[in-house]
Structure 1
Amino acid sequence: MLFVIGSVFAGLAALIHVYIFVLESVRWTHPSTRRVFGTSADEAETTRGLAFNQGFYNLFLAIVAVIGIVVWCAGLTAAGLALMLAGTGSMLAAALVLILSDRSKARAATVQGAFPLLAVVLLIAGMLV
């Protein structure tokens, strides 16, 4: 049961990271996205390339987690768990780096890291039971 709940949280974490991808790689200079990230039009234009790259990083983490869920559901439990943990563990690590590098980003780090944290804890707990 812990694996099932953990995989649901891995899926939710992946969805959030796909959303972050869209914001950073597709909509970075749009006014609504600039409000989310607190950037001006000039700052958004200057950092457009960096945000584009960072968005794809988030997308790739989501893909790893989703592939892990699919592989786990297909019955290859060890490989699926390894992929889910690689994806969500990296998401969690990125959230920790964000909050440790800039305390004013605590809300963003919480949004980015809450579901991955729950996924990691539940998947590891499932392995220990």
Structure 2
Amino acid sequence: MKKIFGKHSQSAQFWQWLRRLWQMRRESQGGYATVETALTLPALVAVAVLGLGAGVAGAAKVQVCEVARTAARGASIGVPWEGSAGVTVNIDTSGQWVKAIASKRLAGSVMPAVTCRVSALKETELMMGIER
């Protein structure tokens, strides 16, 4: 270094200072990982909870759809529907069509105000000429 900066000793001191500063910067990055984890962990938990809530809502939608279809089919052939846990069904048999409306309120701390509601229409099979 003395060859390059022989006459300008201040330049050599500047480069040494800059090298020390760069080394200190590289050594002091240990706290950044903690800060990044503290900031991203709540976001990851929120995404996971919303994903689980969407899965629960999808499963409830499938269950309610199946109950409405089964209730409408049972009412169209004159078989009473026994019921399902947590699902309420209203059956309207006035006229040519049987309309079953099934609904289920999702319980939980994530989405307490969500209700799945499905309606199914089925033509009365006795009117179509089909007997049991």
* Larger strand proportion of the pair: 2
TM normalised by structure 2 equals: 0.33
Q: Which has the higher helix share?
A: 1
